[in-house]
Amino acid sequence: MAAPSDFINYIDANADKFIHRLADAVAIPSVSSEAARRPEVVRMAHWLNDQLKALGVETRLVDLGTHVMDGEELPLPPAVLGKIGDDKAKKTVLIYGHFDVQPANKSDGWDTDPFTLTVHPTNGQLIGRGSTDDKGPILGWLNVLQYHAEHKKPLPVNIKFCFEGMEESGSEGLDELVEREAKPGGWFDGVDCVCISDNYWLNTRTPALTYGLRGIAYFKATIAGPARDLHSGVYGRMIHEPMTDLVLLMSKLVDPQGNILVPGVEDMVPAPDDAERAIYHKLDYSIQDIEETAGAPITVSSDKVEVLMNRMRHPSLSLHGIEGAFYGPGGKTVIPAKVSGKFSIRLVPPQTPEAVEKLVEKYLKDEFAKLGSKNKFTLDPVHGGKPWLADFNHWNFDAAKKATKHIYQQDPDLTREGGSIPVTLTFAESLGVNVLLLPMGRGDDGAHSTNEKLDRSNFIQGSKLLGAYLYELGAVGK
């Protein structure tokens, strides 16, 4: 069933009020990765909890204990669980979002104060930290709830909420919570499907549904040589220099065209057939789109399908940097004693961190042995996460497709993301149900960057889309 026009009109009529509420949320600097701002994340949890209760949602603040960050033991912000509706005849959808944000300082290069939501005078963009990641989408759900609360209308589905405050800092404590509450009698017992609104359209034009995420295997390759940093004048060419060994090893991981040189890693992934290539061909995306957002004409191919497959269905290997070497401006003549190369491989099914780690370790050990260096080599996996793929022919996706068509009068792009949202897989595996990613914002929102924004139309039309999705879900029937 399509969302009632009364609901659609209500969202339009109350748009300014909704933007005002988003400003209240953005004003709380809930940066989870800064110890000094941890109390603000807790404040944000209570703010959200109060909003949900006021809209008729039964809630629970769940203490997730403590963790150690930068050597300091800190309390984790509570997770906010919610439930509304208990009609056995209706489907039950679990909605996830996060109320913590990335760090932001005006001095990073923001044009406006990052924690003051600023409406752009001409294009209407809502600029502020968390506007699109992920306070905007969370507040989209509140907007939907508000219509039903004010009009005392029952929702078309039962809803469970799971909101966390540590997403930008590794979702500490969340996996355990989800696994616990997924069990019979738990908060999430009886959930039929999951919807997460925490990613973005491919471009700035076409709504998207997302059915896949790449996993990741992050590595730290360390070469240790002398007991301390040495002077290159005194020791240059007398000893095996750790940087020489490390740079040589790192150069053997990936070529300039992006091909992964670790034997076996590419081979794990089956080649695409014509049907799969057709999916990518259909996407509303161009080489020009990439060049515009990257800011330079540096795509590895001029074929859009190749480039999109490289992002969505192929693994990728990026060299991030070197810890322990000279990194400042100017010219320091140091031989660094111990250097660690950081690199990561984005994974696609059927790759797993464990399988890829084994290949990387064997390869780098063999390559290091060939160097004839007396330094010491070690490889540490830093973190890992499996890739995720959902069935986009499921009724959960069908509901979202219909809702998109209703609100935007166009079919959504069906996308896979190059990045990772680890909790997606936790929900899929713990609950054993279909998970849908339903993005609200655009590809140029700059989620982790300066001047993060959410377009006004994406917030308002997006709120309608979330409601419309619930109505289409309700229409599927139990």
Q: List the catalytic residue out of 134, 164, 167, 192.
A: 167
| Local structure of 279: helix, strand or coil | helix
Q: Does 346 bind a copy of itself (CB under 8 A)?
A: yes
**Cβ distance 111 to 129 under 8 Å?**
no
Q: Does residue 419 bind a copy of itself (CB under 8 A)?
A: yes
Q: Sort strands 72-75 and 126-127 into parallel, antiparallel or unpaired.
A: unpaired
Q: Is 323 in the site for a copy of itself (CB under 8 A)?
A: yes
Region label for 441, one of left (φ > 0), alpha (ψ between -120 and 50) or beta (otherwise): beta
168 is in an annotated binding site: yes
Counting contacts by CB under 8 A, is residue 243 touching a copy of itself? yes
Minimum CB separation of residue 404 from a copy of itself in Å reads: 21
Residues 156-215 that bind a copy of itself (CB under 8 A): 214
Comparing C-alpha atoms, which of 205, 146, 112, 93 is closest to residue 441?
Answer: 205
Query: What interhelical angle do 5-13 and 15-26 show, nearest 10?
Result: 60
Burial of residue 269, with CB atoms counted within 10 A of its CB: 0-12 exposed, 13-18 middle, 19 or more buried: middle
Interface characters, 450-469, with a copy of itself (x: CB under 8 A): x-------------------
Closest contact distance (angstroms) between CB of 411 and a copy of itself is 23
User: Does 198 count as an annotated binding residue?
Assistant: yes
Helix axes 135-150, 5-13, angle to 10 degrees: 120
Binding of a copy of itself by 13 (CB under 8 A)? no
Q: Which of residues 40-59 bind a copy of itself (CB under 8 A)?
A: none
CA 118/CA 140 separation, integer angstroms? 18
For residue 433, which of 270, 222, 196 has the smallest C-alpha distance? 196
Asked whether position 36 contacts a copy of itself by CB under 8 A, the answer is no
Only segment of 55-63, 129-137, 157-165, 307-315 that touches a copy of itself (CB under 8 A):
307-315
Cβ atoms of 439 and 201 within 8 Å: the answer is yes
Q: Is 328 exposed, middle or buried (0-12, 13-18, 19+ CB in 10 A)?
A: exposed
Among 5, 107, 257, 409, binds a copy of itself (CB under 8 A): 257
Check binding of 422 to a copy of itself (CB under 8 A): no
Q: Please report whether residue 244 would count as binding a copy of itself according to CB under 8 A.
A: yes
Question: Does 107 help bind a copy of itself (rule: CB under 8 A)?
Answer: no
Residues 210-239 that bind a copy of itself (CB under 8 A): 214, 216, 218, 220, 225-239
Q: How many CB atoms lie within 10 A of CB 61?
A: 15
Catalytic, 40? Answer no
Q: Does 346 belong to an annotated binding site?
A: yes
From the candidates 100, 164, 172, 289, which is the catalytic residue?
100
Of 5 and 302, CB closest to a copy of itself:
302
Report in angstroms how near the CB of residue 240 gets to a copy of itself at its nearest: 5
Amino acid at 65: G
Minimal distance, residue 257 CB to a copy of itself, in Å: 7
Partner residues linked to 59 by β-bridges: 82
Q: Is 100 a catalytic residue?
A: yes
Residues with a known catalytic role: 100, 167
Task: Provide the annotated binding site for Mn(2+).
Answer: 98, 133, 168, 198, 448
